[in-house]
Amino acid sequence: MKNTFGNSITITLFGESHGEQIGAVLDGVPSGILVDIDYIKNQLSKRRPFGCISTGRVEKDEFSIVSGVFNGYTTGTPICLLIPNSNTSSKDYDQLKYLPRPSHADYTANIKYNGFQDYRGGGHFSGRITAALVAVGAILQRALEEKGIYVASHISLLRGIKDKSIDGLDDLVSVNCKAFPVIDDDVAVQMQKEIENAGEQGDSVGGVLETVVLGLPAGIGEPWFDSLESLISHAMFSIPGIKGVEFGAGFSFANGYGSQMNDAFVLEGDQVRTKTNNNGGINGGISNGMPIVFRSVVKPTPSIYKEQQTVNLNTMQEQVLEIKGRHDPAIIHRARAVVNALTAITIADALAVKFGTDFLNKING
């Protein structure tokens, strides 16, 4: 499947950055789920650009739900959500028809679609498309919270500046309320300064988003190929700009001994837990009841205002590219909402595969 992801619950994305509308279809969601419009708006606000660390293209993200919701609750049929594009400035992108931006999808899309792709604003590869994903993902994120399953992400690393880890539900709730997703407020100031500095120089920066899922019961995931790690990383790598995913101790497993890295089992009351969580809450592709912890690296925004070298696909000559248009010096703070939404969709799907369509009635009591 190309623009569709999921097994029991599926999301389909459509639209282009400067097309009339973007949208998403969410299918397989059980009936009777509250669709909290304010909650959806709040998640969308986390994806929207803000301050001087983001693009000048600010869309209102006014959405309409045209099917699958009646009297404020899901009906069980496909939910189609539409968001019009209004704040477009397509003439800024005329040059991109033949001058592909380094590190963006302009060149590969041109090759794949034989030049028929909508290149304006990055077309179907634009971060803009993620607005619809965030909106429909919010329906499931809210539903999971009702069942005690919480998702949050924070910027754990940005050009050497490190945030502290999410430690329990209080940190998770607090970071989810913040416009700039960093737990330590002093660290947040430093990171924003770093983004501003890059922007002033016409440059961009990336960083690492750490995601935590609390409250997921043990036993979720379908080895081999739909293991929880496989599903989550498939989802994360679908997000434009994400170039690496690691779980728990991740690549630092390479430096430790088994005796240091194994997560010893302990009893907390009658619950089996682990003393450490180096495996990020997953063993054998199945959740073990500990928090799910994974990190995704977001690359520096490809569109920068510094001069770059490219190839003119018309003349087949090397050429200097000066990018116009409106671009974020960093996308990581905005990508947080996208990561959370797609994590919620992925977790909800994995639960639906195990428990069936009415899964929300069967988890965590």
Look up tokens 């009936």; give the residue.
31
Q: Does 93 help bind ligand FMN (rule: CB under 6 A)?
A: no
Contacts to ligand FMN from residues 314-343, by CB under 6 A: 327-328, 331, 334-335, 338
Contacts to ligand FMN from residues 210-239, by CB under 6 A: 239
DSSP helix/strand/coil, 216: coil
Least distance in angstroms from the C-beta of 261 to ligand FMN: 30
Q: Which is nearer to ligand FMN, 233 or 301 (CB)?
A: 301
Q: Does 55 help bind ligand FMN (rule: CB under 6 A)?
A: yes
Q: Which is nearer to ligand FMN, 308 or 312 (CB)?
A: 308
Peptide bond before residue 224 is cis, with ω within 30 degrees of 0 = yes
Contacts to ligand FMN from residues 132-191, by CB under 6 A: none
Rounded distance, CA 12 to CA 148, Å?
A: 26
- List 79's β-bridge partners, or say none: 26
Q: Does 17 help bind ligand FMN (rule: CB under 6 A)?
A: no
Q: Does 350 help bind ligand FMN (rule: CB under 6 A)?
A: no
Rounded distance, CA 353 to CA 170, Å?
A: 30
Beta strands, E only, the chain: 4-5, 10-15, 21-27, 64-67, 69-70, 73-74, 79-84, 150-158, 161-162, 207-214, 242-247, 265-268, 271-274, 282-283, 286-287, 292-298, 308-312, 317-321
- Residue nearest ligand FMN by beta-carbon distance: 127
Q: Does 363 help bind ligand FMN (rule: CB under 6 A)?
A: no
> How big is the site for ligand FMN, counted in residues (CB under 6 A)?
21
Q: Does 353 help bind ligand FMN (rule: CB under 6 A)?
A: no
- List 5's β-bridge partners, or say none: 11
Least distance in angstroms from the C-beta of 323 to ligand FMN: 8
Judged by the rule CB under 6 A, the positions of this chain that interact with ligand FMN are 55, 104-105, 122, 125-127, 130, 239-241, 299, 301-303, 327-328, 331, 334-335, 338
